[in-house]
Structure 1
């Protein structure tokens, strides 16, 4: 019996280290094996299987009212098989809040982060990431979340990913409290930059960081400082927090597997959360 490749190595080329996962089955694939799809990559086996399933589906379905149906008349709902449910849920909730922003009432002012308000309304540390300054602001953040989130979620688990996202959003707000305490902030950009940092940290711990990821982060950092109205403390703070989480969780997953890796990842996330809480408490002590 042939031993399976380690989790951080390509399943077809065990001598090649990679952090890229197939968006369908979650197996690690190297650059040669990666098959590009509209969002993420897939392994060659999944590409063949999906092609076969599509051919079978075309034979067994009939079209009614312009919508695909199975042979017994049921609608095909492939989105239910989405491999990153937490990422999709975050996007859905953010989209719902975004839709509510067009209703009467100033929802942004109720959910945005501002240091003075956060002392008596602590939920603002998270809710500010659900409101955006416009459609383009929302679309860009959610597009990046959909591109980066699933790979991290599949690697570290659903609940740890959700916790890391929340801690990242709160941490970006703490950075704003230290660097621009009089500014009000909206948008998920801080948490998105933290996901960039997590990807960089985890990739570095097991091998080489993908150059495309570094280029993407670099371009976005340049844009951050080129244009006004962008909270650079949230972006930079989120990136630093993400790097801390990424290096910590990457170190854990390099040395552990299974439940032990999950428990240790929780310790990393909890440790970062404690440090952020201490930093915020210190900032409040200096203000008061």
Structure 2
């Protein structure tokens, strides 16, 4: 039996998590100035090059350790099997598309507020994982339950909750996960 070694088993998920941790630590070290400058999307002039960085970078920023850990723990649980199934490049593309879509929704529809955090990415992965076992001509019951329980709950919270959580970002992330999951299932033959 050979020596045990630590394996960097899900490079996209692990790198995303480490970059989020670095963004959090940088934010703490700069009194949150770097978070506001790079890792938070809000209405800013289109002539500012950082506007475009923030459309993607907002998913790496977090409002504090509790916000960070709640997102990253779910990402570390759900992400590696997705990366194994779909591959690193496809999962990275899913993350980038979800970041851009949620960033644009925030930028266009909510000019007076800011958005940061990986929760849209987490919701994309949750819905994408519920589609992972999809077979031709069948809609997985797991997808139906996730939509009813998770996304339905977010719709209710969006109407009723008075908190700083962006339920719309969760919904957008879930919709991205569904669209990307169906698109990837069409480009790959079904396993059974």
Q: TM-score, normalised by structure 2?
A: 0.80
Partner of 1:194: 124
Please give the residue correspondences for 1:89-100 in structure 2 after superposition, counting only pairs within 5 Å.
Answer: 89-100=15-26
Q: 1:115 pairs with 39, 43, 50, which one?
A: 43
Equivalent residue, structure 1, for 2:68: 138
Q: What's the C-alpha RMSD, in Å, of the aligned pairs?
A: 2.8
Contact 2:43/2:108 (<8 A) preserved:
no
1:253 aligns with 2:185: no
Instruction: Rate the CA distance shift 1:212–1:99 in 2: closer, same or farther, 3 A.
Output: farther
Highest relative contact order (Cα 8 Å, sep 6+), 1 or 2? 2
Q: Distance in 2 between matches of 1:118 and 1:152?
A: 34
1:279 corresponds to which residue? none
4+ residue runs over 6 A deviation: none
> Which structure: greater helix fraction?
2
Matched, 1:232 2:167: yes
Corresponding pairs, count: 182
Query: In 1, Cα distance between the equivalents of 2:156 and 2:62?
Result: 18
For 1:47-196, what aligned pairs fall within 5 Å after superposition? 78-79=5-6, 81-105=7-31, 106-111=33-38, 112-117=40-45, 120=48, 121=50, 122-196=52-126
Q: Shift in Å at residue 227 of structure 1?
A: 4.4
Contiguous gaps of at least 5 residues in structure 2: none
Instruction: From the superposition, tell whether residues 219 and 133 of structure 1 become closer, same or farther in structure 2 (CA, over 3 Å).
Output: farther
Tell me how far apart the structure 1 counterparts of residues 8 and 174 of structure 2 sit (CA, whole Å): 27
Whole-Å separation in 1 of the counterparts to 2:22 and 2:153 = 26
